[in-house]
Structure 1
């Protein structure tokens, strides 16, 4: 996965998608380093919807994942891994042909 994030030299936060300035420190801090987003991460929180919005098949699994670069992204989960899903679990992140991030258990 070749997605690019940015890291602020002032507060050291990682932001995705990459930006030219830090949204936390403001445009006065313009020393931003571009870094790879990373293809591994840790589940911070997740939800399983048995009644998802139109266009999605149940169960819809969404998780906030902190990537190995430190950015936080929203990912769709693998329906086969529901039984082993938990906060703190290590996952592999891939960008699907649908343009969305998907995670599978590591």
Structure 2
């Protein structure tokens, strides 16, 4: 047993006590706390947390309407951009995976 092992075990105990949040919760909580702060800046696109949360909800609703839901796999082909962020959070909001 090395000197590092007790520290790793302590770290694991601390980590397991941290409340886990879903990815989509981050946007929703940020929209409630900071609705007018900038969330996404990509090229000419600028979305506040409130706008981003609303867009994520709309896309998530459209995905549900198409029959997608929890546990479904969704492929996302997009550049690292505002579009990718929107899709990634919408997929998380319906509890699907990408």
- TM more than 0.5: no
Q: Which structure would you say has the larger Rg?
A: 2
More strand by share: 1
More helix by share: 2
Between 1 and 2, higher relative CO (CA 8 Å, sep ≥ 6) is seen in 2
